[in-house]
Amino acid sequence: MNLMLFSAIFVVLIAGIVVMMIYRSRLSRKEEETLHVLGTDDAEISLKMTIAQKLLIVERWLKVLIIVTVIYGIGLLGLFLWDAWERTSRGAF
C-alpha cells in the first residue's frame, strides 16, 4: 500500500497549523494587553474589539485544526503499522 498521499495530506495539515499560529502571533502583536479606562476614543475601542474577535475566531479554528491533525495522525500511524504488519506477515519486507 502506498501511503505517500496520506503522508502529504498530513504534512499539509501540519503546515496549516504553523501558518495559523504565525497569523495568530502577528495578529496578537496589534493587541494591547493593558486596559485604558480614561481617555480612550471610540475608534481605539472598536479596533481592540475587532482584534479580540479575530483572535477568538483564529483560536477556535486553530483548535479544530489541531484536533483534526492529531486524529488524522493517529489514523495514519495505524495505517503505517498495519501495512508493516501485513508486509512482515507475507515476508515481503
In the block, residue with C-alpha cell 479554528 = 61
Q: H helices of the chain, where?
A: 4-29, 42-90
> How far, in Å, CA of 32 to CA of 40, rounded?
13
Q: What is the pLDDT of residues 20-48, one digit of tens each?
A: 999 999 998 877 666 666 666 777 778 88
More confident residue, 84 or 42: 84
* pLDDT score at 38: 65
Residue 36, pLDDT score = 64
Q: In one letter, which amino acid is 6?
A: F
pTM for the complete prediction?
A: 0.80
What's the rounded mean pLDDT across residues 51-80? 95
Burial of residue 27 (CB within 10 Å: 0-12, 13-18, 19+) is middle
Q: What's the first-to-final CA gap in the chain, in angstroms?
A: 12
Summarised one tens digit per residue, pLDDT across range 60-73 is 999 999 999 999 99
Instruction: Return d(Cα 61, Cα 54) in angstroms, integer.
Output: 11
